[in-house]
């Protein structure tokens, strides 16, 4: 019998939109494929593997209680390249099938392990590029001198992590108590590639 686990993670502790959007996408996938799953939910940063639900999932995988793991995207498993590859490799070595629904990817065996390693590396590069663009945008804004009008109270460093953790632009606006346009304008002002963040 196929035993399916669905893992969702967001680092946001309050609003929960990240969890909700991931869960909706996974439930739609389950419905379309006639599958049922046990959900494992974490509201902690993906930079650490010390997450209660992830630990429970790991234990269940290695006890043979799970043979399919479904995630929204691979970076929900971990935002660390090394940790992500280690976790995924362990699952694949146990003949666990891993599915990333948003990326339409299905990983099994050694080939899946190799492809996943490449994707984890690309995701890490994308995050670093976004951080670098944010730093450059802020430096350029400083170089231009004082901002005309009211001093900004919203900065890209407050927004980018929310979007990277799966929040929509509208959800991030609600979380920060700002308008959607204010979020968009802030990212543009600081030179952040808005399209790469919200095209998810």
How distant, in Å, are the alpha carbons of 148, 153, 167, 168, 172 from that of 177? 23, 11, 14, 14, 8
Q: What is the distance between the alpha carbons of residues 183 and 176, in angstroms, rounded to a whole number?
A: 9
C-alpha pair distances (Å), 122 with each of 94, 108, 119, 127: 25, 19, 5, 9
Tokens of 156: 């890209």
pLDDT computed for residue 186 by the predictor: 86
Closest by CA to 119, choosing from 105, 136, 131, 129, is 105
39, 23 contact by CB (below 8 A) = yes
The 8-class DSSP code of residue 74 comes to G
Domain residue ranges of the chain, discontinuous segments joined by +: 4-109, 123-198
- Find the catalytic residue in 11, 78, 179, 196: 11
Q: What is the pTM of this model?
A: 0.56
- Rounded to whole angstroms, the Cα distance separating 183 from 158 reads 10
11 is catalytic: yes
Nearest to 101 by CA among 36, 164, 32, 15: 32
Question: Which tokens sit at 13?
Answer: 């502790």
Quote the radius of gyration of the chain (alpha carbons, Å). Answer: 18
* pLDDT value of residue 112: 63
| Residues 199, 76, 187: CA angle, nearest 5 degrees | 35
Check if the beta carbon of residue 179 is closer than 8 Å to that of residue 170: no
pLDDT by 10-residue block (mean), the chain, 200 residues: 87 54 91 94 72 92 93 83 79 88 79 67 70 76 59 79 82 87 84 67
For residues 11 and 188, give the distance between their C-alpha atoms in angstroms, rounded to a whole number: 24
CATH code given to domain 4-109: 3.40.50.1390
With contact defined as beta carbons under 8 Å apart, do 98 and 92 qualify?
yes
Neighbours of 200 (CB within 10 A): 13
Q: Distance (Å, rounded) from C-alpha 123 to C-alpha 80?
A: 10
């Amino acid at each position: 019998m196929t035993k399916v686990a669905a893992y969702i993670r967001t680092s946001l502790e309050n609003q929960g939109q990240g969890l909700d959007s991931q869960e909706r996408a996974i439930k739609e996938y389950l419905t379309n494929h006639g599958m049922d799953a046990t959900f494992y939910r974490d509201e902690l940063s993906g930079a650490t593997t010390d997450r209660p639900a992830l630990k429970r999932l790991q234990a269940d995988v290695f006890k043979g209680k799970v043979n399919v793991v479904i995630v929204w995207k691979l970076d929900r498993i971990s935002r660390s390249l090394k940790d992500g590859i280690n976790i995924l490799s362990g699952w694949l070595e146990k003949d666990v099938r891993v599915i990333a629904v948003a990326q339409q990817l299905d990983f099994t065996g050694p080939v899946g392990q190799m492809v996943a390693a490449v994707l984890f590396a690309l995701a890490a590069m994308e995050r670093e590029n976004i951080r670098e663009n944010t730093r450059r945008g802020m430096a350029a804004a400083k170089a231009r001198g004082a901002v005309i009008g009211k001093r900004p109270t919203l900065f890209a460093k407050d927004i980018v992590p929310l979007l990277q953790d799966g929040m929509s632009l509208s959800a991030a606006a609600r979380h920060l108590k700002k308008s959607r346009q204010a979020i968009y304008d802030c990212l543009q002002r600081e030179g952040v590639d808005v399209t790469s963040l919200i095209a998810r």
